[in-house]
């Protein structure tokens, strides 16, 4: 529990990144208020694919992100036992060009420290009998399935138990302070209609794909490009492992078994407004067609739902599809641009939420001149059910 005199940090955004940061900062002895305009995890966090990345998907073209993923994959399994289906993943070769990609993929996984094992077609189909008969082989990696809601709830639950003040349905409408110095936030309590201010030593922008909009409240340009993608949930489990195509990332090339569903994803484009996302029918059809090439049973399965969500990717303007942008994460201390008391943490994956929080926490304590090391890699999280109990109390 933080001292009453400890610096106060306001976090904007109750997705996985904000939740992990609240947990990180209270463990470092800081006072934390987190504000979220809707329900917790209602942004991209509550709508993602549910793949605990090994990093293999990024090993060839985005090695920085690959290394982040395998490191965080290992840490999350340790600090959140029971939150994952430890089912592993197969990157499946369907044709000769996939086999040629294998020659870059296997050494790239090795170079990023991702354990990988090559399997011939029969061995791969023994592990995953639903794979197409014609596959040429597959690479086994430590991907896994995670529950998109319950993992972040464990961060919120532990942060609450350690004294964080978590305020859902509280929208930041503006910042307080003067030009060049942020001293807090102006919020609207959407449940009561009350408007009030919260003072802070540091305000953190953890607003995911909305980070650009929040940055503009402070007069800074945050280089976050909302990059939506479509996901399609099919009834039934067409596979028990995470199945990906062994080729450079493309549409419809991942199937994640999630409870009694198979989730096919995803597409990628760049949007201006993350509140205005469509679910283009041609993307849905592409998911179905590509998913069925890997797992033929998907061709006859019933669609349970189709939706889209926006990735909060960091990169310069001008990206065409979002696939060319790295999945790594960045922390911006806007003091460097002449705005004191305002920090942004953006980019990354749901898999790297803890690592993003560690980076932002390091920047914040350094800015405050404190010695307070990160402790989240060794702290086992409370179960997600503790969150509901704490909220009801
Ligand atoms: C289609 C798709 C599939 C994906 N699949 C995977 C996957 O399988 N595995 C994986 O690791 N990653 C995956 N990702 C990436 C992952 O979902 C995101 O990187 C992650 O969820 C981002 O979390 P966040 O907390 O940064 O953002 P968000 O979850 O979007 O949280 C930001 C929050 O800020 C709030 N907010 C915005 N403005 C304000 C304001 N003014 N006041 C208060 N609150 C505000 C929003 O309501 C939102 O809840 C996927 C992404 C997409 C789009």
In the predicted model, is pLDDT for residue 53 greater than 90? yes
- CA–centroid distance, 35 to ligand 1, in Å, is 15
Q: How far is the CA of 300 from the centre of ligand 1 (A)?
A: 31
CA gap 115, 100 in Å, rounded = 20
Q: Which of 39, 224, 350, 352 to mutate to test the pocket of ligand 1 (most atoms within 8 A of CB)?
A: 350
Q: Which atom of ligand 1 is nearest to the CA of 38?
A: 47
Q: Could you read off the pLDDT of 281-334 as tens digits, one per residue?
A: 999 999 999 999 999 999 999 999 999 999 999 987 777 677 788 889 999 999
Residues in contact with ligand 1 by the CB-under-6-Å rule are: 12-18, 35-38, 42-45, 48-51, 53, 171-172, 206-210, 214, 229, 231, 265-266, 309-312, 348-351
Query: Can you name the residues that pair with 306 across neighbouring β-strands?
Result: 232
Which residues share a beta bridge with 242? 89
Q: 357 phi and psi, to 5 degrees?
A: -65, -40
Question: How is residue 29 written in tokens?
Answer: 């002895």
How many angstroms separate the CA atoms of 272 and 210, rounded?
10
Is 389 a residue whose pLDDT tops 90?
Answer: no
d(CA 369, CA 30): 13
Q: Is residue 224 within 8 Å of 313, Cβ to Cβ?
A: yes
CATH top-level class of 8-45+150-223+326-392: alpha beta
Centre of ligand 1 to C-alpha 12, Å, is 12
CA of 45 to the centre of ligand 1 (A): 4
pLDDT at 326: 81
Query: Per residue, what are the HEC states of the chain?
Result: CCCCCCCEEEEECCCHHHHHHHHHHHHCCCEEEEECCCCCCCCHHHHCCCEECCCHHHCCCCHHHHHHHHHHHHHHHHHCCCCEECCCEEEEECCHHHHHHHHHHHHHHHHHCCCCEEECHHHHHHHCCCCCCCCCEEEEECCEEECCCHHHHHHHHHHHHCCCEEECCEEEEEEEEECCEEEEEEEEECCCCCEEEEECCEEEECCHHHHHHHHHHCCCCCCEEEEEEEEEEEECCCCCCEEEECCCCCCCCEEEEECCEEEEECCCCCCCCCCCCCCCHHHHHHHHHHHHHHCHHHHHCCEEEEEEEEEEEECCCCCCCCCCCCCCEEEEEHHHHCCECEEEEEECCHHHHHHHHHHHHHHHHHHHCCCCCCCCCCCCCCCCHHHHHHHHC
Does the pLDDT value for residue 13 go beyond 90?
yes
- Is residue 179's pLDDT more than 90? no
392 pLDDT more than 80: no
Q: Report the residue count for the chain.
A: 393
Check if 8-45+150-223+326-392 and 86-144+226-314 are the same fold.
no
- pLDDT score for 195: 98
Lowest-confidence region among 143-147, 189-193, 230-234, 387-391 = 387-391
Q: Which phi and psi angles does 43 have, rounded to 5°?
A: -85, -140
Pocket test for ligand 1, best of 11, 38, 43, 191 (most atoms within 8 A of CB): 43
Which ligand 1 atom is the nearest neighbour of the CA of 170?
43
Q: Round to whole Å and give the CA distance between 322 and 304.
A: 27
Substitution candidate for ligand 1 out of 52, 208, 255, 308 with most atoms within 8 A of CB: 208
Mean pLDDT of 117-145: 98
Regarding the domain with residue range 86-144+226-314, which homologous superfamily does it belong to in the CATH classification? D-Amino Acid Oxidase, subunit A, domain 2 (3.30.9.10)
193 Cα to the center of ligand 1, angstroms:
25
Ligand 1 atom with the smallest distance to the CA of 47 is 17
What are the extents of the domains in the chain? 8-45+150-223+326-392, 86-144+226-314
Contact between 213 and 335 under an 8 Å Cβ cutoff? The reply is: no
**Which ligand 1 atom is at minimum distance from the Cα of 274?**
30
pLDDT score for 373:
98
Q: b vs e for 40-73, b when ≥16 Cβ sit within 10 Å of the residue's Cβ?
A: bbebbbbbbbbbbbbbbbbbbbbbebbbbbbbbb
Return the best residue to mutate from 24, 35, 45 for the ligand 1 pocket (most ligand atoms within 8 A of CB). Answer: 45
Is pLDDT above 80 for 3? no
Average pLDDT, the chain: 96
Atom of ligand 1 nearest to the CA of 207: 34
What pLDDT does 222 receive? 94
Instruction: Write down the pLDDT at residue 321.
Output: 75
The predicted structure's pLDDT at residue 83: 95
Instruction: Name the residue among 254, 73, 117 with its Cα closest to residue 127.
Output: 117
Distance 356 CA to ligand 1 centre (A): 13
Total-model pTM: 0.97
Q: Of 236, 234, 235, 215, whose CA–CA distance to 224 is shortest?
A: 215
User: pLDDT of 14-27, one tens digit each?
Assistant: 999 999 999 999 99
- Judged against a pLDDT cut of 80, whether residue 249 lies above it is answered with yes
What confidence tier does 65 reach under pLDDT thresholds 50, 70, 90?
very high
pLDDT one-digit tens code per residue, 189-215: 999 999 999 999 999 999 999 999 999
């Amino acid at each position: 529990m933080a001292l009453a005199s400890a610096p106060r940090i306001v976090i904007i955004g109750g997705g996985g990144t904000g939740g992990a940061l609240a947990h990180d900062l209270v463990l470092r002895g800081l006072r934390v208020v987190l504000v979220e305009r809707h329900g917790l995890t209602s942004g991209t966090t509550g709508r993602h694919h549910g793949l605990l990345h090994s990093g293999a998907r990024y090993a060839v073209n985005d090695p920085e992100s690959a290394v982040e993923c395998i490191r965080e994959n290992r840490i999350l399994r340790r600090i959140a036992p029971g939150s994952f289906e430890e089912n592993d993943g197969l990157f499946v070769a369907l044709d000769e060009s996939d086999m040629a990609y294998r020659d870059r993929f296997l050494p790239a996984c090795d170079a990023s420290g991702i354990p990988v094992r090559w399997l011939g077609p029969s061995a791969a189909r023994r592990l995953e009998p639903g794979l197409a008969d014609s596959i040429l082989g597959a690479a086994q990696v430590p991907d896994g399935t995670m529950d998109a809601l319950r993992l972040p709830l464990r961060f919120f639950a532990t942060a609450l138990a350690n004294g964080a003040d978590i305020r859902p349905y509280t929208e930041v409408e503006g910042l307080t302070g003067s030009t060049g110095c942020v001293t807090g936030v102006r919020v609207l309590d959407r449940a009561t209609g009350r408007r009030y201010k919260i003072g802070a030593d540091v305000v953190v922008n953890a607003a995911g794909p909305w980070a650009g909009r929040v940055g503009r409240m402070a007069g800074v340009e945050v280089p976050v490009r909302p990059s939506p993608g479509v996901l399609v949930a099919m009834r039934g489990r067409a596979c028990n492992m995470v199945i990906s195509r062994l080729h450079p990332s493309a549409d419809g090339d991942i199937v994640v078994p999630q409870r009694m569903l198979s989730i096919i994803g995803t597409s990628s484009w760049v949007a201006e407004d993350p509140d205005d996302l469509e679910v283009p029918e041609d993307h849905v059809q592409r998911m179905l067609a590509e998913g069925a090439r890997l797992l033929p049973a998907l061709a006859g399965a019933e669609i349970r739902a189709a939706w889209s969500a926006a990735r909060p990717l960091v990169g310069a303007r001008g990206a065409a599809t979002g696939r060319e942008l790295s999945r790594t994460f960045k922390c911006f201390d806007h003091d460097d641009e002449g705005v004191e008391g305002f920090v942004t943490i953006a980019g990354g994956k749901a898999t790297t939420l803890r690592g993003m929080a560690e980076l932002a926490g390091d920047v914040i304590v350094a800015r405050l001149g404190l010695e307070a090391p990160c402790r989240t890699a060794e702290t086992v999280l409370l179960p997600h059910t503790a969150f509901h109990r704490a909220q009801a109390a």
